[in-house]
Chains A and B, each alone.
Chain A
Amino acid sequence: MLFNSLTFIVFFVVILGLHYLPIAWRIKKTNLLIASYLFYAAWSPPFVILLWISTFVDWHVANKIYLQKTQSKRRLLLFISIAVNLGMLGYFKYGEFLMQNFQILMSNFGIDYQAPDWNIILPVGISFYTFQTMAYSLDVYLKRAKPTDSFLDFSLFVTFFPQLVAGPIVRPTQLIPQFKIPRVASKSQLTWGLGLITLGLFNKIVVADGLLSQAAETAFEATKILHPMDAWLGTLAFSGQIFCDFAGYTTTAIGIALCLGFSLPDNFRFPYASIGFSDFWRRWHISLSSWLRDYLYIPLGGNRKGPLRIYANLMTTMLLGGLWHGAAWTFVVWGGLHGLYLAIERILVSRLRHQQIWSRWLPRLFLGILTYFLINITWVFFRAADFSTAIRMLDAMLTFDFSGEKVLPMIDVIIVTAVISLMLLIHCFMRNRQLHDIVKAIPGWFVGLIWGLALWFIIITQGESNAFIYFQF
């Protein structure tokens, strides 16, 4: 079920109504669990079985790991959890990719191997919930947390519908304790939750789908070498689209959870105002970057095993992070570029950080612009359907050959320029601020006016219930 659909509005009203009934907390949690399964089944009912497998396996494995004293047996149990979760992920998400690459590899050895047709539908959000549930077994294995004693709480943690299919990827220690105590949102939480839902849907329906998607699509799906301006505008449009789409989803998810009385962590903090790439990854998809840091980078050795290992660990983490997004080499290159940026930044910071110049505003502005520029280079690989498209786009963006073809109509030039400029200004202004602080500081009538306008724009945009981009991951 998509947040930006009429079905969800009805679903949410019913769930809210049930949640505010004077009934036992256990029954309310059961309602939420059933609602979460219905939410997922609304795409494809059979795939609920995958959620049940993840829930069943990780519940039993984590309990056994906790009770087991022998390290080798604990390791074996953890392996079972990882094998089941990554096995499902691998089969549904990477099966076709692996078969195709195997076919290419074989043909290099002169073996004519034909990969079978892989007509497997990707279960929505599988990368998100497998990571979330794996974190539970990993936390218990790493002795960072004890297992919960409630199967209901654990099941709800795995499937909690606001963040089930596109995050934020919540840690067990952040969410399971919230299920222990009866929760109903206060009036303030409910209204702020509705405000966040409006903001999230505005980002998705109006900005990402209504204003920016068309320009990005036109540029990336053109078959000729583009004029540099069109290539840049298409890429900038995608930078705005992917942010508003994904941040829009998680802001909506946070708002929905808040309406039910639960607090989910932030997943974005105005990332296009980042100065450098470690700053970017502290602001972009925070729940994934911190997951990769805690469950991959640090277990690989993190910063503890000498400079070479640090760079190898960084690169491994980012390459796998790229592959997490999609089963294609373009995503691996996207991750690899980020790994490279982080490595170069690390070298430069260790050499230049003591120079006073970097604390002045102009050099910081330059670094911010440079960061955004380099991030846009990575978005080309993220958005392009294949390497030839990516190279065609980069060729137009970086060689400044003005004989390329113009494809964007004037209206898209105006929209992209205006929306991206405004977005960057907002990100810069909000870089060190929090939304709730700003809302507190400005007059209530003005907030209401903006809120009402946002709602109006959502309604008149008449979104087509387009899926969120991150659902495919």
Chain B
Amino acid sequence: MKAEKIYQRPVPNVKFSGLIAVIVVIVLMVAWEMYVRSQDVTPSYRNSNGLWAEQRRKINKGAGDGWVFTGSSRVLFNLQLDAWQALDNRRPLQLALEGTSPVSVLEGLAEDADFTGSVIVGVAPGLFFSGFEYRKGALKQHKNETPSQWLGQRISMWFEPYFAFYTYDYALSTILHRQDLPLREGVGHRLDVRKLANMGRDRNYRLWDKVYLDEEYNALAKQIWAQNWKPFAEQPEARQEGILKGRAKQLDRAIKAAKAIKDKGANVVFVQMPYEGHYAVSEPDIAPRDLTWDILINESGALGLHFLDHKQMQGYELPEWSHMTGEEADRFTQNFYHLVQSELARHKQVGEQP
């Protein structure tokens, strides 16, 4: 190759500036970490797509015959892995995703030959029967994870347990977008869900102390759950039609997936976790029990545990209407474990009767 004229990039001498930059960034990072910790934030694993994908892959690495939890945030908060393991002698997999219908996860388990165990499927009516998937990126990453993403997840987890600032709630863009500024006419301000929990290495999730100890923060959490809510009857007609169509579609998908799982000898347990306050009004409004839950349980033939039907699922403290504190979740998990075992045995007996 004939070298015409080799370009040589001009280079200013910035060695001193580089040294200053290192000092500046260290000082600012220390200050930032201190500030975030002063807000009662403690380091925890990030609830990332990569971590979910890692846990999901365990089904294909020998854990497919055990218990799997899926659902949305209520299962994530309320079913504690340590408490379950203490009773079952085996650690379940936590695959619930907040703000996300578990129907796609259930379909994935139905198609996965390695899954032969038992699955608890949380049914948060508003989400489950809408098919909304806030965290669909997690499923996508499990399906198409690149080697780079896999390695990036491992590297990230070296840092996550040590730095409090390394949490989604304190990312710059998140902070900017939650500033209380005057509203523009006609533009609603939808508050993003704030930090509510700390996550463990295998996605065990516990409600953050601040959510129930700090009254202001607790009120904010409730305000966020109830924002922009409108009863079904007051929704525009087209939206109502969309909700009904979506409901039928999700019911059909969930029933098919549950049947497919049962056909391969695995157990499916649908569960409605306790809720109160705003949710006691909104959940039955958007998904009346007789038109959703009852159909799901009857047509799928799966075991269904609704908190209104079982005393063991009642009487827990729910600081922001549906998620339990860590201690309450431990107590709930223990009671729920026994309930599942007994109901599952009874359900099988009934199913085997001619």
- Interface readout for B1-15 with A: 1 if CB under 8 Å, 0 if not? 111101111111111
- Please tell me if B39 contacts chain A, counting CB pairs below 8 Å: no
Binary interface profile of B, 216-245, with partner A (CB < 8 Å = 1, else 0)?
Answer: 000000000000000000000000000000
Q: Is the beta-carbon distance between A189 and B11 smaller than 8 angstroms?
A: yes
B341 within 8 A of A: no
Whether the Cβ atoms of B14 and A447 lie closer than 8 Å is yes
Chain A interface residue count, CB cutoff 8 Å, equals 75
> Does B23 reach chain A (CB closer than 8 Å)?
yes
Q: Is the CB of A258 within 8 A of B1?
A: no
Q: Do B176 and A411 have beta carbons less than 8 Å apart?
A: yes
Task: Return B154 CB to nearest CB of chain A, in Å.
Answer: 9
**Binary contact readout B155-197 vs A (1 if CB under 8 angstroms, 0 otherwise):** 1100000000110101111001101011111110100000000
| 1/0 contact string of A418-451 vs chain B (CB within 8 Å) | 0000000000000000101101100011011101
Which of B148, B172, B177, B181 meets A460, CB within 8 Å?
B172
- Assess whether A263 is in contact with B148, with CB atoms less than 8 Å apart: no
Tell which of B13, B152, B173, B182 touches A461, judged by Cβ atoms closer than 8 Å: B173
With both beta carbons as reference points, the residue of chain B lying nearest to A187 in the complex is identified as: B15
- Return chain B residues, CB-CB under 8 Å to A146: 1-2
A198 to B21 alpha-carbon distance, docked (Å) = 11
Residue contact A6 to B15, C-beta cutoff 8 Å: no
Chain B residues positioned under 8 Å from A415 (CB to CB): 176
Q: Which residue of A lies closest to B176 (CB)?
A: A411
Question: Contact at B187–A434, with CB atoms within 8 Å?
Answer: no
CA distance A465 to B171 in the complex (A): 13
Render B276-304 as a binary contact track against A, CB cut-off 8 A, 1 for contact. Answer: 00000000000000000000000000000
Question: Nearest A residue to B7 by beta-carbon distance?
Answer: A263
Instruction: Assess the B28–A265 pair: CB atoms within 8 A.
Output: no
Report B-chain residues with C-beta under 8 Å of the C-beta of A436.
10-12
Q: Which residues of A contact B38 (CB under 8 A)?
A: none
Given A254-B9, A406-B186, A452-B23; A214-B1 close (CB under 8 Å): no
By the criterion CB–CB under 8 Å, are B1 and A173 in contact? Answer: yes
Task: Tell me the complex Cα distance, A187–B29, Å.
Answer: 26
Task: Return the contact of B147 from the options A41, A148, A439, A457 (Cβ within 8 A).
Answer: A41
In this complex, the member of A5, A194, A254, A265 whose beta carbon has the largest number of chain B beta carbons within 10 angstroms is A5
Closest to A147 in B: B1
Query: Complex formed: what's the CA distance from A106 to B233 in Å?
Result: 47
Nearest-Cβ distance from residue B54 to partner chain A, whole angstroms? 15
* B28 engages A462 (CB within 8 Å): no
- Contact call A452/B166, Cβ cutoff below 8 A: no
B25 at the interface (CB under 8 A from A): yes
Chain A 402-416 interface residues, beta-carbon cutoff 8 Å to B: 405-411, 413-415
Q: From residue A41, how far is it (CB to closest CB) to chain B in Å?
A: 7
How near does chain A come to B174, taking the closest CB pair, in angstroms? 9
Q: What are 27 sample pairs from A and B whose C-beta atoms fall under 8 A apart?
A: A7-B155, A8-B148, A42-B146, A43-B147, A145-B4, A173-B3, A174-B7, A177-B3, A180-B3, A189-B9, A211-B173, A214-B177, A263-B8, A409-B177, A410-B184, A434-B10, A439-B14, A448-B17, A448-B18, A448-B21, A451-B20, A452-B20, A453-B24, A455-B21, A455-B25, A457-B172, A462-B166
Q: Which residues of B contact A (CB under 8 A)?
A: 1-4, 6-25, 28-29, 32, 146-149, 151-152, 155-156, 165-166, 168, 170-173, 176-177, 179, 181-187, 189
Q: What 4 A-B pairs have minimum CB-CB distances, sorted nearest first? A: A448-B20, A452-B24, A177-B3, A451-B21
